[in-house]
Amino acid sequence: NRRDGLVDDALIKVDNILKREIKKALSNQQKDYWSDFKSELELYKRMHDRYGDKSEEAFSLVVDNQPDQAEFAAERMQKSAEELKAEMRSLLRRAITLSQNSANLAKEDQKRTINIVLIAFILIIGTTLGFGIFVTRDIVNSLNKAVDIAEEVSAGNLSTKVEITSTDEIGQLLESLKKMTENLNSLIYKVQQSGIQMTSSTTQIAASGKQLEATMTEQLASTNEVTSTAQEIANTSGELVQTMEQLAQLSQITADAASHGQQDLMRMESTMRHLANATSSISAKLGVMNEKANNISSVVTTITKVADQTNLLSLNAAIEAEKAGEYGAGFAVVAREIRRLADQTAVATLEIETMVKEMQSAVSTGVMEMDKFSKDVSTSVENVGKISEQIAKVIEQVQSLTPRFEMVNQSVEDQSKSAQQISEAMVQLSEASQQTADSLKDTNNALERLDDTAQGLQTEVSVFQV
C-alpha cells in the first residue's frame, strides 16, 4: 500500500506538471507535443493500475494457499509486467522526443528572434545609407541612435530604452524598433520561463522516476522473499510427502500385525473353548469317580460288617468245637482259619476304607479345583473374545486409516508440485520485476539527458538581458 501511494503521488505530480506545461505552451505545436506525452502517460497509468491489480491478486492467492489459481495469476502478472515494460520504453522514447522537440522549438524561436533582429538591423542600416546623403545631421543622428539600439538588441540586450522625440518617419522607425524590442523581450522572457519550467518539470519527473525505481526495488525484494518462502514450502511439502509415505507403510505393517494377532487370538479362543469343554468332561468324570467311591465305601462297610459277623461266627464255632472235644478239633481249625481270614478281611477293609476316603477327599478337591479352573477358563474365554473384538475394531480403524493416508499423501504431493510451480512463477516474476527496474533506470537516465537539454536551452537564452 505504501509503494502504491508513492507511485500514485509520483504520477499525480507528473500529471500536474503536464497540465501546467500544456497551459503555458508557447505554440500549438508545443501543446501537441505535451498532449501526446500526456496521452502516453495516461496509457502507462492504466497499464500500471492493471499490473498492480494482477500483482495484488497473485500475492493474495499465494497467502490464501491457492497454488493453481496463483500460478495462472502469476502468468497474467508476468504478461502485464512485460506490457508495462514495453509501455515504459515507449514513454521513455516519447519523453526523449519531447525533450528534443522542445529544445528544437526553443532554438528555432531563438534563431527566428535573431533573424528578425538582423533583418531589422539590415533595413535600418540600408535606410540610413540610402537616405543619409539627403537628410540633415539630426536625421543622421536619429538613424545612428536607431543603429545603436539595433546593435544592443543584436548583442542580446533587450532592456534598452527607446526614446521617441518625433512623429516623422524616423520617429515611426524608432517606434517600430521599440515595439520590436518589447515583443522580443516578451518572447525571450517566455522562452526563459519555459526553460525554467521545463527544468523544474524534468527535475520533478526525475524525482518521480526515482520514487518509481525505489518502489520497484522494494517490490523486487518482496518478490524475492515470496520466492524464497514458496521454495521453502515446496521443500517442506517434499519432506512431508516422504513422512506420509513412511506413515502409510507403518500403518499397513500395523494393520498386518494386528490381523495376525487377531488370528492368533481366535486360535487361542478356540483352544481355550476346547480346554473348557475338556475341563467340564473331567469334572463330570471326577463326579462319577466320587460317586463310585461312595459306592465302594458302602461296599467296604458291608464287607466290614460281614467280616465282623464272620469273626463272631468263627468265635461261636470255636466255642462249639471246644465243647465237642476231640470230635470238634477239625472244626476248631477251620474256625481259626475263618477268624484269621475275617481279621485279614477286616484289616484290608479298613485299609480300603482309608484309601477310599483319601480318594474321595482327593476327588472332591479335584472336582472343586476343576470347577474353579473351568470358571477361570470360561472367564478367560470371555476375555479373549472381548480382546478379539477390540482388536477387530482396531484392525478396522487401522485399515480405514490406510486409504486416508494415501489421500493425504496424494494431496501433499499435489501441494508440493503446486508450491514448486509457484516458486518457478515467482522466479519469473522476479526476473520481470528486475527488467522493469532496469527500464526505470533507463527512464531516469533519459530524464537526466532531458534535464541536460533543458539546462542547455536555459544557457542559450540566458545571453539575452530582459
Tens of pLDDT, residue by residue over 411-424, are 767 776 776 776 67
Q: Write the DSSP assignment of 125-179 as a string of letters.
A: HHHHHHHTTTS-HHHHHHHHHHHHHHHHHHTTB---------SSHHHHHHHHHHH
Q: Are 95 and 87 in contact (CB under 8 A)?
A: no
Residue 38 Ramachandran class (φ > 0 left, ψ -120 to 50 alpha, else beta): alpha
Task: Check which CATH number belongs to the domain holding 362 and give it.
Answer: 1.10.287.950
- 343 and 271 share a domain? yes
- 170 and 269 share a domain? no
Report whether pLDDT(137) > 60.
Answer: no
- 300 and 435 share a domain? no
Question: Using 50, 70 and 90 to split pLDDT, how confident is the model at 144?
Answer: low
Length in residues, the chain:
466
User: 415 lies in a domain?
Assistant: no
Report whether pLDDT(113) > 50.
Answer: no
Last residue of a domain, one of 410, 428, 451: 410
Question: Using 50, 70 and 90 to split pLDDT, how confident is the model at 83?
Answer: confident
- 224 and 311 share a domain? no
Lowest mean pLDDT among 105-119, 122-136, 215-229, 429-443: 122-136
Average pLDDT over residues 13-30: 63
Residue with the bigger pLDDT between 141 and 301: it is 301
What's residue 15's pLDDT?
A: 65
User: 344 lies in a domain?
Assistant: yes
Q: Between the CA of residue 340 and those of 19, 188, 196, 314, 344, what are the distances in Å?
A: 156, 175, 163, 9, 6
Which residue type does 226 have?
V
Highest mean pLDDT among 10-24, 103-117, 195-209, 354-368: 354-368
| Count of structural domains within the chain | 2
- 283 and 197 share a domain? no
Q: Between the CA of residue 335 and those of 308, 309, 313, 322, 323, what are the distances in Å?
A: 14, 13, 8, 11, 13
Q: Between the CA of residue 353 and those of 255, 307, 335, what are the distances in Å?
A: 63, 14, 26
Pairwise CA distance, residues 462 & 30, whole Å: 21
Report whether pLDDT(111) > 50.
Answer: no
Report whether pLDDT(139) > 60.
Answer: no
User: 346 lies in a domain?
Assistant: yes
Instruction: Provide the grid cell at 233.
Output: 514450502
Per-residue pLDDT of 159-173, as tens digits, reads 667 677 666 555 665
- 401 and 319 share a domain? yes
Average pLDDT over residues 427-432: 72
Lowest mean pLDDT among 33-47, 109-123, 349-363, 409-423: 109-123
Average pLDDT over residues 36-53: 76
Average pLDDT of the chain to the nearest whole number:
67
Report whether pLDDT(340) > 70.
Answer: yes
Q: Are 35 and 98 in contact (CB under 8 A)?
A: no
pTM assigned to the model: 0.36
- 342 and 452 share a domain? no
Residue with the bigger pLDDT between 117 and 296: it is 296
Highest mean pLDDT among 231-240, 307-316, 416-425: 307-316
User: 348 lies in a domain?
Assistant: yes
Question: Using 50, 70 and 90 to split pLDDT, how confident is the model at 69?
Answer: confident
Residue with the bigger pLDDT between 379 and 220: it is 379
Report whether pLDDT(6) > 60.
Answer: no
Residue with the bigger pLDDT between 147 and 46: it is 46
User: 466 lies in a domain?
Assistant: no
Cα–Cα nearest to 62, from 281, 225, 284: 225
Question: Using 50, 70 and 90 to split pLDDT, how confident is the model at 123?
Answer: very low
Report whether pLDDT(201) > 60.
Answer: yes
Q: Are 37 and 92 in contact (CB under 8 A)?
A: no
Question: Residue by residue, what is the 3-state secondary structure of 42-99?
Answer: HHHHHHHHHHHHHHHHHHHHHHCCCHHHHHHHHHHHHHHHHHHHHHHHHHHHHHHHHH
- 143 and 15 share a domain? yes
Pairwise CA distance, residues 331 & 337, whole Å: 10
Highest mean pLDDT among 97-106, 299-308, 429-438: 299-308
- 258 and 124 share a domain? no
Question: Using 50, 70 and 90 to split pLDDT, how confident is the model at 121?
Answer: very low
- 192 and 250 share a domain? no
Report whether pLDDT(158) > 70.
Answer: no
- 231 and 357 share a domain? no
Average pLDDT over residues 365-394: 76
Q: What percent of the chain has pLDDT over 90?
A: 0
Q: Between the CA of residue 202 and those of 3, 45, 92, 381, what are the distances in Å?
A: 22, 18, 12, 98
The burial class, CB within 10 Å (0-12 / 13-18 / 19+), for 22 is: middle
User: 130 lies in a domain?
Assistant: yes
Q: Are 314 and 335 in contact (CB under 8 A)?
A: yes
Which range marks the domain in which residue 292 is found? 246-410
Point out which residues pair with 465 in neighbouring strands: 157
Point out which residues pair with 157 in neighbouring strands: 465
Pairwise CA distance, residues 166 & 457, whole Å: 40
Residue with the bigger pLDDT between 125 and 451: it is 451
Question: Using 50, 70 and 90 to split pLDDT, how confident is the model at 278?
Answer: confident
Average pLDDT over residues 183-210: 65
What's residue 128's pLDDT?
A: 35
Question: Using 50, 70 and 90 to split pLDDT, how confident is the model at 82?
Answer: confident
- 134 and 280 share a domain? no
